A and B are shown apart, each in its own frame.
Chain A
């Protein structure tokens, strides 16, 4: 176990948290969608990938600066999420639990194939939103992109926290997540809240997509690995807990960064072994509540 001490822990932690905050955003979207509509989405990575391609088109073909392109992409992602909920999920969610999962897998395939047909399958360089010398603190290094990712994540988390805590819509969303029928009886438009949940969840994924594209390049399969890690993060934190998603995502990022340093070819395997261990010991995840089924 001596090798554990020789690792550059500080640097690995910083890298892991920067990467993990991207997982956290996507995981947050997955949990939000799961909590509002009771549907586990497997298309989160692919909607994010598609949004990143939209951002790419806005940036390079239309020559927009980064900020307006980013905002327009988020608007697009929200629309896409709400549309998916309205057209596909609302119908599929009436059947068995598996039906909706399968529909989201189908959606993921459609988006991958669609992006491949429109933009091609080869890797595309994504313009850097920010360039400049990396920030240094002692012998620790953080790229400007990493700093931007951290700043955006923290900002979004604060915004979401305020939204769920203080706004009427946010409280309505929490109410729907807690008890759909009671929420409906209280006059909350549950359908609209569901669409909003999908919209916001998809937009959060899109943030990840746009911010990870400069390092990972742009191609239809770019989000596969990211989405799976985010997914694992969401489950690790507890699929019913929003703070859990953030925590789980960041933990996954750190694990990924340490495992990537030690045994790069086993990154996914290590992440999943830890996940299975946690689930066996604590099936509801770190911060999740155990679901009690009433008969």
Chain B
């Protein structure tokens, strides 16, 4: 019942916003679209970190690859958007697969560092190949998203596109985590050695989760490029990667709905800080609040909003007991 009402409200959102006189409908919808795009990245990132336990601090790099791939395919090669969208996802997924290969041999701190380096390197590469990517100026006037010859120029129409894509990807994520593949991810997260002993093929599942996670980010990147219709290396900083991490931490590691809620919440937060009367005075402290949310969530609600919602187990369910470091 509640779910049905919520679904109707979500579908009618553009119309509902119109009921408030003076509300900046298209701006709000633009933000919602952006939040949905980030939510797609968060979904993929949560599969990687929350379910499979592999850290990534470079997901903005995957978003960038998807965005540039889609932008170049549509603008330079004249591909229709409907083909560029999945292609961007697949290309990014392939890059994710490649990044998963060194990740096979690396764990914890090393993996965090390699992914961080990846996230830093992608914008630099975009700057370097200025002939292809437009360099620091970026790519401008990208074609709008289009379906069956219909251009989705307005925020209203784009909203439904983003909604459709995220619904499909959420469904995929649910199916994945509830399948034997998802259980293999969780087994790897909880103990690689135990998983291996039970017959989980580490090579296969680790590269697979990287590829799937990157695929999500690539799809999001394509949508991003055709929503904003301007991309530059500046749009894909490491700070954005940290934001994605914050989204899933706040929403709840290892929770599919948590990823979406976290993304919506953290996209709305800076807007609230620059607009609400009381919070406006603390605009300068926005980054501090951001960091504080990350710290407090981790210390007091390690399972994020999803954990607080279910209320049963408030602790991140991996090994809480730390193994003493071994003498060598």
| Contact residues, A245-295 vs B (CB, 8 A) | 263, 265-266, 268-269, 271-273, 275-276, 279-280, 283, 289, 291-295
Inter-subunit contact A106/B292 (CB<8 Å):
yes
- Contacting residues, chain B, for A178 (C-beta < 8 A): 325, 327-328
Known: A94-B320, A109-B242. A292 touches B109 (CB 8 A): no
Q: Is the CB of A117 within 8 A of B288?
A: yes
B-side contacts of A114, CB under 8 Å: 288
- CB-CB contacts below 8 Å: A162-199 with B: 177-182
Tell which of B118, B191, B302, B323 touches A95, judged by Cβ atoms closer than 8 Å.
B302
Smallest Cβ-Cβ distance to B124: which chain A residue: A269
| A42 CB contacts on chain B under 8 angstroms | 112
- Say if the beta carbon of A99 comes within 8 Å of chain B: yes
Counting CB contacts under 8 A, is B142 at the interface? Answer: no
Whether A117 contacts B291 by the Cβ 8 Å rule is no
**B245 nearest CB across to chain A (Å):** 7
The 0/1 profile, CB within 8 Å of B marked 1, for residues 112-152 of chain A is 11101100000000000000000000000000000000000
| Nearest CB in chain A: distance from B278 CB, A | 17
Report Cα–Cα, A193/B16, bound state, in Å: 59
Q: Are B295 and A228 in contact (CB under 8 A)?
A: no
- Complex Cα distance A93/B322, Å? 8
Q: Is B316 an interface residue (CB 8 A)?
A: yes
Q: Is B285 an interface residue (CB 8 A)?
A: yes
Q: In the complex, what residues of B have CB within 8 A of residue A99's CB?
A: 298, 302, 316
A198-249 residues at the B interface, CB under 8 angstroms? 224, 228, 231-232, 235, 239
Residue A105 interfacial (CB < 8 Å): yes
Q: Report how far A113 CA is from B116 CA in the complex, Å.
A: 21
Select from chain B the residue with minimum beta-carbon distance to A290: B328
Residue of B nearest to A271 (CB): B117
B326 touches A105 (CB 8 A): no
Given A93-B322, A235-B109, verify A268-B117 contact (CB < 8 Å): yes
Bound CA span A226–B294, Å? 23
Q: Which of B7-15, B100-108, B180-188 is the interface stretch?
A: B100-108
Chain B, 289-327, contact with A by CB distance < 8 Å: what is the 0/1 string? 111111100110010000000000001101110111111
A92 interface residue (CB < 8 Å to B): yes
Task: Tell me the chain B residues, 241-297 only, with Cβ under 8 Å from chain A.
Answer: 242, 245, 249, 253, 284-295
Determine the chain B residues whose CB is within 8 A of the CB of A182 once the complex forms. Answer: 327
Q: Which of B88-145 contact A (CB under 8 A)?
A: 102, 105-106, 108-110, 112-114, 116-118, 120-121, 124-125, 127-128
Does any Cβ of A come within 8 Å of B193's Cβ?
yes
Does B55 contact A180, Cβ atoms closer than 8 Å?
A: no
- The reply to whether the CB of B212 lies closer than 8 angstroms to some CB of chain A is no
Interface string of A90-105 (1 = CB under 8 A from B): 0111111111011101
Cα distance A68–B245 in the bound complex, in angstroms: 40
Determine the chain A residues whose CB is within 8 A of the CB of B323 once the complex forms: 294
User: Which residue of the partner chain B has the closest CB to A120?
Assistant: B284
Specify the chain B residue showing the minimal Cβ separation from A41.
B109
Whether A228 contacts B249 by the Cβ 8 Å rule is no
CB of A101 within 8 A of CB of B320, answer no
Cβ contacts A71-111/B at 8 Å (1 or 0 each):
00000000000000000100111111111011101111111
Q: Interface size (A, Cβ < 8 Å)? A: 60
Most buried by A among B114, B290, B295: B295
Chain A: minimal CB distance from B313 (Å): 13
Distance between B118 CB and nearest chain A CB, rounded to angstroms: 7
Q: Are B316 and A117 in contact (CB under 8 A)?
A: no
B322-A279 in contact (CB<8A)? no
Q: How far is the CA of A192 from the CA of B161 in the complex (A)?
A: 56
A272's partner among B121, B294, B325 (CB-CB below 8 A) is B121
Q: A56: which B residues are within 8 A, CB to CB?
A: none
Instruction: Contact check, B291 vs A107: say whether CB atoms are below 8 A apart.
Output: yes
**Complex interface: chain A residues within 8 A of B328 (CB):** 178, 289, 291-292
Tell yes or no: A40 within 8 A of B by CB. Answer: yes
Partner of A117, one of B113, B284, B298, B326: B284
Specify the chain A residue showing the minimal Cβ separation from B116.
A228
Known A106-B294, A266-B128; further 4 A-B contacts with Cβ < 8 A: A109-B294, A179-B324, A180-B325, A280-B105
Footprint of B on A, CB under 8 Å? 34, 38, 40, 42, 88, 91-99, 101-103, 105-114, 116-117, 177-182, 224, 228, 231-232, 235, 239, 263, 265-266, 268-269, 271-273, 275-276, 279-280, 283, 289, 291-295
18 A-B pairs (CB sep. < 8 Å): A40-B112, A92-B299, A96-B319, A101-B55, A101-B112, A105-B294, A106-B291, A108-B291, A109-B287, A110-B295, A116-B284, A263-B128, A268-B120, A269-B120, A272-B121, A275-B114, A279-B110, A283-B110
Task: Kindly list the 6 A-B residue pairs having the minimum CB-CB distance in the complex, ordered from nearest.
Answer: A109-B291, A113-B287, A106-B294, A272-B117, A113-B288, A110-B291
